[in-house]
Amino acid sequence: MSLRLCCILLSLGCPRGCAALSPSCPAGCCCPHPDALVFCESLGLTSLPRFIPRNTSVLSVARNLLCNMDHLLQNFSSLQVLNLSHNHLDRFPRGLPPSLESLQLQENRITYITTRALKQLRKLVQLDLEDNRIRAMQPRALLTLSRLERLSLKGNFLSSLPLFLPPSLTHLDVLKINRNCLQSVPEAAFDGLSRLHFVDLANNLWTCECDIMYLYRWLLDGRLGLAGDLVCAAPLHLAHRLLLTLSVMAICPRVLKQNEEAPPLNSTLPTSLRNSPAVETKFSVRLSIHVFYYIPIFS
Ligand SMILES: *[C@@H]1O[C@H](CO)[C@@H](O)[C@H](O)[C@H]1NC(C)=O
Ligand SMILES: *[C@@H]1O[C@H](CO)[C@@H](O)[C@H](O)[C@H]1NC(C)=O
Ligand SMILES: *[C@@H]1O[C@H](CO)[C@@H](O)[C@H](O)[C@H]1NC(C)=O
Ligand SMILES: *[C@@H]1O[C@H](CO)[C@@H](O)[C@H](O)[C@H]1NC(C)=O
């Protein structure tokens, strides 16, 4: 079965009364495609059901009470899609099968991401970590995910972007790190991401001082459509102002004193953003596209 078909079926959820379709389906679960698709959602599970067919390619145990999945699936060498969302996992599961291409871990309680946890997931194309409690990622943790295209870290507590984004991040199409505690973006953080066509950085704690100049310029350099709505949280006198309506002089006068050229604000900003007071009070101009439904584009 192609991953595309698996994903379409998975996203449709569990059809009613499908449990009878396969005699090898674990008790209480439903298996719309025998031995390939197994759904065990919302069953109050505290442990993985026994007798899940070893050659399952899509497994969802979403919306249960699972706390620990370490090494339980490591022998499932056909597993491509694994939905562990809405559980009680307090750390990234260890010993996941290297065959995984799509992993959903949203709405768990994960607090940090280590390099070791991600090391073997070289085939991963999609990783969803939305709405966890992630405060830190080991700097090189993402480096081994050489096929990753979609990463969501929305709704966590990150105060900085992972320092080393892998060269493969040219394959990263989607980066969502909004609703975190980011204050700035490290110099050159996005430079390798030539395929990046969506970034959502809204609702962070942006400090509109010199450290933000890299991001400011990166956005003004033709990427306004990616994230036009970043609001400053600090310094106090710039709080609640939209970053892109501020002048270089307001953010980092030192840069001008060093004789660097300021971006030509009026010629770069779209007309709607030029009238800064109106925009700042209403927050009505949202340039980023907030559509992030799972679209299975890989097969
Ligand atoms: C994973 O399960 C959650 C909860 O049922 C669901 O909302 C989500 O769409 C699923 N993800 C995929 C990729 O099917
Ligand atoms: C999974 O393995 C069983 C035997 O263990 C086999 O009958 C079945 O056809 C296999 N299913 C797939 C999708 O490969
Ligand atoms: C996975 O396979 C190995 C080697 O065949 C075995 O030792 C181990 O117990 C298996 N793990 C599980 C969780 O079944
Ligand atoms: C931008 O344009 C406005 C009027 O359109 C003008 O008042 C303002 O001085 C200009 N700012 C810069 C930096 O040129």
Across the chain, mean pLDDT equals 77
Long-range contacts of range 203-206, CB-CB < 8 Å, 24 or more positions apart?
Answer: 203/178, 203/179, 203/231, 204/177, 204/178, 204/179, 204/180, 204/230, 204/233, 205/159, 205/181, 205/233, 205/234, 206/182, 206/230, 206/231, 206/232, 206/233, 206/234, 206/243
| Ligand 4 within 6 A of CB of 205 | no
Residue 274 has pLDDT above 60, yes or no: no
Residue 282 has pLDDT above 80, yes or no: no
Q: Is pLDDT larger for residue 293 or for residue 104?
A: 104
What are 100-144's pLDDT values in tens digits? Answer: 999 999 999 999 999 998 999 999 999 999 999 998 888 888 888
* Alpha carbon distance 5, 118 (integer Å): 26
| Ligand 2 within 6 A of CB of 233 | no
HSE-CB for 31 with a 13 A CA cutoff: 21
Range name among 40-54, 99-113, 188-202 with the lowest pLDDT average = 188-202
63 Cα–ligand 1 center, Å: 9
CB-based burial of residue 265 (10 Å sphere; 0-12 exposed, 13-18 middle, 19+ buried)? middle
Both tokens of 87, joined, read 């559980």
| Ligand 3 within 6 A of CB of 75 | yes
What are 56-82's pLDDT values in tens digits? Answer: 999 999 999 999 999 999 999 999 999
* Alpha carbon distance 150, 87 (integer Å): 21
Write the DSSP symbol of residue 231: B
Instruction: Return the pLDDT at 83.
Output: 98
126 Cα–ligand 2 center, Å: 26
3-state secondary structure of 142: helix
Instruction: Return the pLDDT at 202.
Output: 78
54 Cα–ligand 3 center, Å: 11
Give, in degrees to the nearest 5, the angle at Cα 92 between 86 and 94.
125
Instruction: Note whether 140 and 115 are within 8 A (CB).
Output: yes
